[in-house]
Structure 1
Amino acid sequence: MPLQFARIQPCLKSVRFWLVVFSMTIFTAAMPGRAEGQESNNVVAVANAEPITRKTLADEAVKRYGGDVLDNMVNRQLIMQECVNRGVEVTNLEVSDEIRRLAAKFGLSLESYLQLLQEERDITPGQYSREIVWPMLALRALVSDKVLVSEDEFNQAYVAQFGEAVKCRLIMVAERARALELNQQAKATPEQFANLAKKFSEDEASASVGGLIPPIRRYSGDTRLENVAFGLQTGDVSEILQLGDQWIFLQAVRRIPASQPSPQALPAIREQITDRIRDEKMRGASAELFTGLQREAKVVKVLGNPELSKQYPGVAAVINGEKLMVSLVAGECIKRHGPAVLDGEINRTLLRQALRTAKKQVTQQDVDTEIARAALRYGYIKSDGQADVAAWLGSVTESGETTQEVYIADAVWPSVALQKLVEDEVVLTEDDLQRGFASAYGPRVEVLAIVL
């Protein structure tokens, strides 16, 4: 994660700081018609008279986010190629209408919905339209001729929503022998089923209310469970039934009669149920189609592969013979992550300037020492007590979300630089040592708390 200015500001009081950020430039990175040289020379920020160019921003953004962004762009390209091959088009109007529909589904205005996505999921309106809604609509359009809702499917969904239901109590345990024992007790004294559930059921949610569970309806879940529930009379206790790795049995509490919607409401209900079934089937068919496109595609990922980069200069990937250029991936990275990456680059620039002013430098040995210290801190220690640096770096990069180069640039180097800048001002006293020892190894108090 890029270093935030709040972390380095206290260490830069001696540096005369001024900064100009051309924010509009950031978001036009991927505009067509830019010459490569012109794009490279655009200045996106100036820190104490030291410019940061668009090329630097693009390179740093690709280092951090290029892999994820490329995967997304490859997937969209596969869908787009299939749309072209089949003559399918999804217009901007269709995308806008779908976003409005989704907003209305959640009871929000369009503006509130987009703002919520921005605040809660950090997705801009453009990114949402381009990367989520358009692919979804395109895949639906590609499978629309294969998705039909039969009368049987509608009838089952109608019964699941409005049909008769059975209110039941449930007891769940992990061991079959225990289930048999409790089942015998429940059959002997059915009126004690609720108490047995409270005491012995391992399903905490239902045990707290005497085993009561939501009403069971036809066509709404596990057929075996539905058959057991509907085969019981009020007060009856079922035989035990294995669900997954658990053993359960039921007691019927009462039958809930089927609902009878008014004739006037039936057309709207039919439309609602039909749309829901169609959406579910489209999601499944779309996922199947997309998996097929990925399986059959001929994709060569060049980005991050030095050998392939020599063979395909300036190319990020080749998708079914079509080249996707690094410049487009860089522009997409800047669209999504430009401000955060720029913040990090500005902060590193300010740190470098502060080090020059203080006539200090960060050496490779300093970096290696800091990595070893982090390894020890997080428990990556060899049998001889030395830091297991290789294992630590492996744990940092194993998720694929960062590389060793980015980890050093964003976490290790700034940390060492900050230490260099403040080391002359830090005095460690005996009292500091005593307090640190007491904090780590001193007496502790165990408490109980009530949080309201």
Structure 2
Amino acid sequence: MGTRAAVWRWGGVIPAVLVATAAAAQPPAQAPDVGKRVAAFIHGTTAVTREELGEYLIARGGMDKIDLLVNRKIVEIEAARRGVSVTALEVAAGFNEDLQASGLSRDDFVRAVLPRYGKSLYEWENDVVRQRLLLGKMTRDQVKVTEDEVRKAFEAKHGERREAFVIKWPRQPTPLPDDVKKLAVSDQQQFEKLATQQPNDLKENGGRIAPIGRHIDGEDPRVEKALFELKNPGDAVWVETETTSTCLRLIRVVPPDAVTFEQAKAAIEKDVFDRKLSRLMPEVFLKIRTAANPQLTQHVPERPAEPNAKPAPRAQHPDPKVLAVVFGTVPVTRGDLGEFLIARGGFERLEPLINVKIVTTEAAKRGVTASPEEVEAALADDLKAVGVEKADFVSKLLPKAKKTLPEYLEDEVRPRVLLEKMCKGKVQATEEELKKAFERHYGEKRTAKIIMWPAGQFRQAQKDWDLARQGDAQFDSVARGQNDPNLAAAAGQVRPIGRHGDAPNPLIEKVVFELKEGELSQLFQTPAGIVCVKCTGVIPPAQAVDFAAVRPALEKEVLARKQGQEVAALFAQLKAAANPNLILRGPPSEAENAEGIRQIINQSGVTPPKQ
């Protein structure tokens, strides 16, 4: 992919590696600090600030967004210097153009397109549409459209067109043999077979392309000439260029549209202008960025370098809050990055931050700490309990939860270790609890299958139950069709059930131990939904297991379970006492967006353009 494509995609500025030089830069007077604004209150009057949330996000992968922030700031400042602005209405109109171009509704665009680019709707509007509009306004004076270009575009769109099958085969490293090419021309079946084997996206439709006209951007004139020399459906020809062997097989000739040049001129002229503008904007951005000379400071951690590549140099800056400098003196601060992250979904992380703060604040009051070694040991115990290797946990499980290992340790493990220490000595294992644990592990068990329906679907449950009780095959058929994917995949089979289990609803355990092997229960209601249970077997008690021999392991298990319950209860108590009041509940409003842009411009010493 070329340089332009690497920094520009779908009209939006995409983060690129900043080319920094070692030069100190002194920032101008700082814009008013918005980081002290309150994001939430706990304990009535204790503030959780936006600055805290920003730092929380930066520590959890947010530094990866610094390049995108720098690019955005460069464009905003340069636009202000040129007196260029974009209103919220223009952004909305630009987004509607994206919807029209994609042929999707707003909801479908949000659901299908945005996840592909890893963006929220707010990010698309502000980091793609807004930046595209600003750059477009700064570029449009450089775009000139000639009469010849408009006439060629008219011919391409409304003139005679060709619909065809196309095979494009690279001449390197392995060119197609001449005999294969001859067969593709003379034998349509061989053509179709080769079309589905070509090493590009054309193979998806067997090489078929929509009707195209003359003067198509990016097409080799030799290929276009050969295509328009084909007269009869089924005619085929190979065209050789320096890099590609192209075979064309004509499907049909599409006659010109019944529209005159004058009738279509205005629309065609706009299309040509827009295409030239889109091609020129990346060049303008690169010139602006080069002039801005963005420099990351030594306060941005080094990134993994490409093999044999030298690490990008860092500019030295005395202020640890300054992460980058643009235009010689304009700083990009940790506060800027924090606000940038908050606006782009970071507000959803406010509650996890509050939870951590509630626990760490209470632990500090009690003089309770958790060392890195204790946190790592707790993680090792967790992984051992579930039989997962740390490497697999980091590479396979954490990415599914969209967490890094440091984030998991700080947000999940450390708070739990602190809570466990605060609960230490509060639980004991009674003799009765140990005996119940012994019976749970070594006493009689039941193998069972379960079918569950959502609450409120009693009629459907009754209908399915009538079918399920007709036999094993019918039961399995219903079980595989239930809503719960885990139960469905196993045809309802669950792990053997012992007495005195830890299930939040003991009714299932009670029901299954009332059944004989092969019996199916009546439908019954649980908090999780409507349930029926089938007992598939009875596992007799384990023989020759000495209670005294396994007592230490049972005691450890009971204490761990009770401590877990105590930890949950303590956290619930602490959170209720903190009574969090969340002020920040969504992305910035239009007014907050405008204020943020004004602050970016003010930092550069430029007078904001009038809207």
- Shorter-chain TM-score: which interval? 0.5 to 0.7
More off after superposition, 218-227 vs 359-368: 359-368
Segments of 5+ residues of structure 1 without an aligned counterpart are 1-31, 382-386, 436-452
- 2:264 is matched with 269
In structure 2, the partner of 1:339 is 347
Structure 2 counterpart SS, 1:90: coil
Q: Is the 8 A contact 1:61 1:337 kept in 2?
A: no
For residue 140 of structure 1, the aligned residue among 136, 140, 148 is 136
Shift of 1:146: 1.0
CA distance in 2 between partners of 1:173 and 1:368 (Å): 54
State the Cα distance separating 1:219 from its structure 2 match: 1.9
Q: Distance in 2 between matches of 1:419 and 1:227?
A: 77
Alignment match, 1:154: 150
- Match for residue 230 of structure 1? 228
**CA displacement, residues 56-100 of structure 1 (integer Å, 9 cap, x when unaligned):** 323213323643554333223322333344x332142xx413422
Supply the RMSD in Å over aligned alpha carbons: 5.2
CA contact (8 A) 1:309 1:315 kept: no
Structure 2 partner of 1:438:
none
In the alignment of these two chains, the number of paired residues is 371
- Whether contact under 8 Å (1:180, 1:240) holds in the other structure is no
Give the one of 244, 255, 258 matched to 2:256: 258
CA distance in 2, matches of 1:60, 1:240: 59
Is the counterpart of residue 317 in structure 1 residue 310 in structure 2? Answer: no
Of 289, 293, 301, which residue of structure 1 is paired with 2:288?
Answer: 293
Give matches, 1:4-403, under 5 Å.
39=36, 42=38, 44-46=40-42, 52-64=48-60, 66-85=62-81, 87-92=82-87, 95-103=88-96, 106=99, 113=106, 117=110, 121=114, 123=120, 125=122, 130-170=126-166, 179-186=177-184, 190=186, 192-193=187-188, 195-203=189-197, 212-220=208-216, 221-234=219-232, 235-239=234-238, 241=240, 247-261=245-259, 263=260, 266-267=261-262, 269-302=264-297, 304-305=299-300, 311-320=318-327, 321-349=329-357, 362-369=370-377, 370=379, 377=388, 380=391
Tell me if the contact between 1:154 and 1:274 (Cα under 8 Å) persists in the aligned partners. yes
> Aligned equivalents of 1:144 and 1:182: distance in 2?
49
**CA–CA distance in structure 2, aligned partners of residues 76 and 206 of structure 1:** 36
Give the distance between the partners of 1:150 and 1:200, measured in 2 at CA.
Answer: 41
Q: What percentage of residue pairs aligned between the two structures are identical? A: 19
Determine if contact 2:223/2:246 at 8 Å carries over to the other structure: no
Indicate the residue corresponding to 1:10 in structure 2: none
Q: Do the aligned residues in 1 keep the contact of 2:84 with 2:138 (CA within 8 Å)?
A: no
| Corresponding residue for residue 410 of structure 2 | 409
CA contact (8 A) 1:173 1:201 kept: no
- CA change 1:344–1:249 in 2 (3 A) is same
Which 5+ residue runs of structure 2 have no aligned equivalent?
A: 1-30, 302-313, 448-611
| Displacement after TM superposition at 1:162 (Å) | 1.6
Flag the 1:97–1:78 CA change in 2: closer, same or farther, 3 A.
closer
State the Cα deviation string for residues 154-190 of structure 1 (Å, max 9, x = none).
Answer: 1222222122223334456678675522333355xx4
- Could you tell me which amino acid in structure 1 is paired with residue 352 of structure 2? G
Paired amino acid for 2:163: K
Decide which structure has greater helix share: 1
1:321-374 per-residue CA deviation (whole Å, 9 max, x = no partner) reads: 1234433433333333442221221333466689999x9975423433437997
1: CA distance between counterparts of 2:125 and 2:190? 53
Distance in 1, Cα, partners of 2:175 & 2:241: 12
CA distance in 1 between counterparts of 2:237 and 2:338 reads 62
